[in-house]
Chain A
Amino acid sequence: MSIINNINKAFDHRIRLGIMSILMVNEYADFNMLKEMLGATDGNLASHTKALEKADYIKVEKQFIGRKPNTRYSTTKLGRAEFKKHIEALEKLINKQ
């Protein structure tokens, strides 16, 4: 049952899956881009990014573009490795059936 162990609970939500997928193929993404892509509300997205940040799967950078505050996200090495494992586990589970 080792495959089940690789299913990562931290990714077990549509929005979190989406955040990780976007960050895997983009160097970084800002809050608004994630919001637009995932069709999530501010509060909803913020809680999910916070959870991923806490697990040390994504990095948050706050900066200013001109006068506007801008929050951008990128994956950590750990996040990339864990997400890859998660995808592999999903694929194995699908192939088994």
Chain B
Amino acid sequence: MESKNYLQDINEIKNMMTKSSRFLSISGLSGTLAGIYALIGAYLGYQIIYKDNIVNFDGYRALVVSDQELLNIFIIAMSVFVLSVITGIAFSYSKAKKQNESMWDSTSKRLIINFMIPLAAGGIFILLLMEKNLYAFVAPLTLIFYGLACVNASKYTLGYIRYLGITVIILGLLATYFLGYGLFFWALGFGVCHIIYGTIMHFKYDRLN
């Protein structure tokens, strides 16, 4: 045997190890789009919250928001979330098809389960806080739990998501300190971060294949 064959063997081993343990068809571009949806959502939210609220000496901290407005914000947030998920699935599906990989296999299942555990725990926790009328921590906590979900999921997909997760966690902690500026941290975390990391991942991974 020649060394060329050995090299081929090693490459095959590496390839199989990555392919069988990580879901690689995740699309960077869908991340960028999710970021754009989030920015639009944040803008709409801003219109609702700060329409009647004059910024006074308390800055953005003292807010009067009616139940109806709160519901609207909730609907906007959910729409952004659902739209992002649909975009993510659609883009990953087409990427998987292009690469001749299957979309629904053990790697994608594992990715989703590990992503959902911190996210679901956080989601329920936040809903319980809202039930107790504690709204101030909603924005920081969504960022923190989303970041944790990304870090947890990064072991099962493109490793880059880890950095997105860590950035979002830091933003969530900052948002906890600067309480009342949640919407801006949301726009930064879910909007700007997704656009930046999505674009980097698009150029790093999508185009190679």
Task: Point out residues on A near B: beta carbons under 8 Å.
Answer: 14, 17-18, 20-22, 24-26, 29, 33, 36-38, 87, 90-91, 93-94, 96-97
**Which single residue of chain B is at the shortest CB-CB distance from A14?**
B12
> What is the count of residue pairs linking A and B with beta-carbon distances less than 8 angstroms?
49
Known: A26-B21, A87-B10, A94-B6. A36 touches B105 (CB 8 A): yes
| Interface flag for B94 (CB, 8 Å) | no
Give the B interface residue count (CB, 8 A).
Answer: 16
Q: Is the interface of B mostly helix, strand, loop or mixed?
A: helix
Tell me whether B16 and A22 are in contact (CB under 8 A). yes
Tell me whether A24 and B17 are in contact (CB under 8 A). yes
| Min CB gap A12→B, angstroms | 9
Q: Which of B1-45 contact A (CB under 8 A)?
A: 3, 6-7, 9-10, 12-14, 16-17, 19-21
Known: A25-B20, A94-B6. A18 touches B105 (CB 8 A): no
* Complex CA–CA separation, A62 to B36 (angstroms): 49
Residues of chain B within 8 A (CB-CB) of A38 are 16
| Min CB gap A68→B, angstroms | 16
Contact of A93 among B6, B13, B19 (CB under 8 A): B6
Q: Is the interface of A mostly helix, strand, loop or mixed?
A: helix
Q: A22-B20, A25-B20, A90-B10 are in contact. List 20 more A-B contacts (CB 8 A).
A: A14-B12, A17-B9, A17-B12, A21-B12, A21-B16, A21-B17, A21-B20, A22-B17, A26-B21, A26-B106, A36-B102, A37-B19, A38-B16, A87-B13, A90-B6, A91-B10, A93-B6, A94-B6, A94-B7, A97-B3
